[in-house]
Structure 1
Amino acid sequence: MKHEHAAIVLDFSANGIGIIRSLARKGIDVYAFDTEQPYRIGKSRLATCGICPSPLTQEKELLEFLSDFAKQFQVKPVLYAGADDYVGFISKYRKTLDEFFLFLLPSHSLLETVLDKHKAYELAIQHNIPCPKTFFPNNQDELEEAIATIEFPCILKPVTGHEFRKKVNKKAIVMKDAAQLRKEYQSYRENGKLLVQEIIPGDNDCFYKVATFYDDQMKLLGLFSLQKNHQFPADFGTGAHVVSKRIPELIQKCLPFFEAIQLKGIGMAEFKKDPRDNVYKFIEINPRFWLTHSLTEPAGVHFVYMYYLYVTGQHVEPQLEQKDGIKWIYGVRYFLTFLQKRKRGEMTFRTFWKGCKGKKEYALFAWNDPMPFIRSTWSHLKNSWKRKRKEDRHA
């Protein structure tokens, strides 16, 4: 295989670090960029790293930065995005960026739809994909209609999470009763549109994901599924401990859906299995590499490298079978989730330790690239300590 094309990775979260390391193992030259704070925590010795303008607040500057940077290469570099902010930016300016980079995304209209939870919900319903009971109130009357129908506790979520979390760093807010929802809805609404959704019962291990890589003609090149064991924060968060697991019945539901909406490139859908009726219910779609994607390589489905080969015009052998039972562990988040669950009597140290055993892939820990793990662990522990002090003061 030829590796003369460099790779540009936009993102220094564990997602971006996973892309960097996967490419570096193949001997590909990697350059990685993000805004200042993620750069300070995530910069890796396996890539040439730097700070770039924000895709949210400095679009023109970022477009100029990337265009100028790409001009130094004799052949177009491959462009990877590890966060919704960057995916949205690349899609918006795809005509200009296509002159300098190689990448594959679904249509701009589809991308805008799946990044908006209201539109994504309507898309799922249109294609007969079961969803949790969800409301999108735009005023007080519509909020009262939701309150009259939904069961409490419920959750309040931003419609466009990647933009909302720049102002309020919360993925979902639990509303214990109608009084709390009435009281807090308006203050959160000032930061963006919101949805009110039922809480599907069941622990973290009721969450499942199906990921695909379709080429430009919608030929399936990569297929992978997983089960979440623990997430961070413990109640509503992102994966902290997941395991590769083939879920045939969910795959059979997802593939026709993805093909109908033309989800080309990298895509991933998350579902939660409702123990009340044993139905998988739609949570969200990510049209990009997702946080736990580095699990796919040891499981035999090399998404990052297949993407590189495809967009550089090389032969890609489809990888549609996976190895099950391989764990992905985000060490510090798994530990903090364990502390929270142990305090509530939901997890023992024996269970935690058992989760660390067996074949696994770490989100950040690597002997040949230790600093992202060290800096992220310190940042998480420091922030956890600050939250604990704040809670103690309020108590």
Structure 2
Amino acid sequence: MNHDTVAVVLDLSANGIGIIRSLGRRGIPLYAFDTERKYKIGKTRYANCGICPDPKTGESDLLALLIQLSESLPKKPVLFAGSDEFVYFISKHRHELSNYYHFLLPEHDLIEAVLDKRLTAKLAEKHQIPSPKTFIVNNEAELDQLIHNMSFPCILKPVFGHEFRKKLSKKAIIMENADQLRKEFPFYQQFGELLLQELIPGQEERIYQVGTLFDDNLQLIGLFMGQKLNQFPAYFGAGALVKSVRNEEVIEKGVSFLKALGFKGISVAEFKRDPRDGQLKFIEINARTWLWHSLSGRCGVDLSYLYYLLLTKQNPEPKLTQTEGIKWIYLVRHYLSSREKRKREKLTWYQWLRSLKGKKEYALFAWDDPLPFFRSAFSHLINSWKNSRQIKKMETKLTQEDD
């Protein structure tokens, strides 16, 4: 295979590092960019790393940076995005960027739909895909009207999850009863638009993700799936401990849904099996590589590399089968999530250590590129401490208001 085309990765989180290591270890030349804070944590020896403007507040500057980089190279590079913000930026500027980069994305309205949870729910409804009941809440007056139709516990979720998580490290908040919801809604509302969603019961083991790579003609080039075992933040978050598995029902539902929607390029669909009726319920879609996608390479289906070969017109052979039973571990997140669960469940540290057994792929730890692991671990521990202080302040404030 020819590896002389440069790849440019926008993202230096663990997701982006997974892309970079997959390509860099094959000798593919790489540039990687992210905003200053994430750059400092994730810069890696496998890429020429740099700081870039924020894709939301510095669009024109980021566009100029990417055009200038492409013009300095002998031929059009392949462009990867590892976060929702960068996916949206590329999609929004796709017509201009396509003159300088190779990339493959679904239509822009689909990108917008999967970033806005209100529109995502409508997609599932339109295609008759079972999913949790979802209610839009714009203000406290609407909350009072909806609260009588809700069953508890339920979930309070941000409409735009990637924006919400920048301000508060939470993907969803469990509301045990109507009183808690009324009390805490104003606090969470300050961080962004919110919706209420039915809680699908059951542990993380009931959650599956199906990743696909479709070419421009919607032919399936890559297929990979896994089962979540732990999440960060605890209970509602991204994978912290994941195992590669293959389930034909999940694959059929995920692949058919993504193909029907027209999800060209790399994407992933998440489902949770509802113990009440045994049905798989659709949760969300990401129009990009996802956090634990690097496990695909360990299991014989390297989606990042397949994408590179596809975009450089090297006609990769489809990879639709995988090795099962290998774990992916984001060590610091698995630790922090398990520590939180010990407060609510009978989880012992012996059980946690046993979860590390078996064949595994680490999110960041690597002997040939160790610094991203140590910088990330330190950052997570500091942020965990700050977040716990923020939550305590919120609880204190709410208690004082009750008094």
The unaligned stretches of length 5 or more in structure 1 are none
Tell me which residue corresponds to 2:131: 131
The CA distance in 2 between the partners of 1:319 and 1:369, in whole Å, is 27
Contact in 1 for aligned 2:210/2:255 (Cα 8 Å): no
Q: 1: distance between equivalents of 2:75 and 2:332?
A: 39
Identity rate of aligned residues, in percent? 55
Whole-angstrom distance in 2 between the partners of 1:126 and 1:386: 41
CA–CA separation in structure 2 for the residues paired with 1:46 and 1:352: 32
Give the 5 Å matches for 1:60-209. Answer: 60-209=60-209
Measure, in 1, the Cα distance between the counterparts of 2:388 and 2:263. Answer: 42
Corresponding residue number in structure 2 for 1:323: 323
Deviations 1:270-298 (A, max 9, x none): 11111111111111000000000000001
TM-superposition CA deviations, 1:319-370 (whole Å, max 9, x none)? 0001110100001111112222233333222321222111111000000100
Alignment of 1:1-395 (within 5 A): 1-388=1-388
TM-score, normalised by the number of residues in structure 1: 0.96
Aligned-partner Cα distance in 2 for 1:195–1:99: 39
Q: 105-114 or 303-312, which moves further after superposition?
A: 105-114
Distance in 2 of aligned mates of 1:120 and 1:181: 23
- SS of 1:361's equivalent in the other structure is strand
Structure 2 counterpart SS, 1:136:
strand
**For residues 85-140 of structure 1, what are the alpha-carbon distances to aligned partners after superposition, in whole Å with 9 as ceiling and x for unaligned?**
00000000001111111100001111111111111111111111101121012344
SS of the aligned residue for 1:165 comes to: helix
What is the DSSP-based 3-state SS (H/G/I as helix, E as strand, rest coil) of the residue aligned with 1:166? helix
Contact in 1 for aligned 2:169/2:233 (Cα 8 Å)? no
Using the TM superposition, give the Cα deviation of residue 391 of structure 1 relative to its aligned residue in structure 2, in angstroms: 6.4
Q: CA RMSD in A?
A: 1.6
Q: Residues 389 and 252 from structure 1, CA distance in 2 versus in 1: closer, same or farther, beyond 3 angstroms?
A: closer
Q: Which amino acid aligns with 1:172?
A: A
Change in Cα spacing, 1:178 to 1:254, as seen in structure 2 (3 Å) is same
One-letter identity of the residue aligned with 1:281? K
Tell me, yes or no, if the aligned pair for 2:327 and 2:360 is still in contact at 8 Å. yes
TM-score (normalised: structure 2)? 0.94
Q: In the superposition, relative to structure 1, how do residues 180 and 117 fare at CA in structure 2: closer, same or farther (>3 Å)?
A: same
User: Kindly tell me: are residues 41 and 228 of structure 1, through their superposed partners in 2, closer, same or farther at Cα, counting changes over 3 Å?
Assistant: same
Secondary structure of the structure 2 residue equivalent to 1:79: strand
CA distance in 1, matches of 2:263, 2:161: 20
Which of 251-260 and 141-150 deviates more?
Answer: 141-150
Contact kept? 2:25, 2:46, Cα under 8 Å: no
Give secondary structure in 1 for the equivalent of 2:267: strand
Q: Is the Cα–Cα contact under 8 Å of residues 271 and 282 in structure 2 kept in the other structure?
A: yes
The aligned amino acid for 1:162 is H
Question: How far 1:8 sits from its partner (Å)?
Answer: 0.5
Structure 2 unpaired stretches of 5+: 397-403
Q: Report the residue type matching 1:232 in the other structure.
A: F
What is the Cα deviation at residue 53 of structure 1?
0.2
Q: Distance in 1 between matches of 2:330 and 2:270?
A: 19
Deviations for 1:146-169, whole angstroms, at most 9, x for unmatched residues?
211111222111111112333333
Greater CA drift, 164-173 or 43-52: 164-173
Alpha-carbon offset, residue 232 of structure 1:
1.1
SS in 2 for 1:9: strand
Deviations 1:31-71 (A, max 9, x none): 10000000111110111100000001111111111111111
Q: How many residues align?
A: 395
> For 1:352 and 1:190, how far apart are their aligned partners in 2?
36
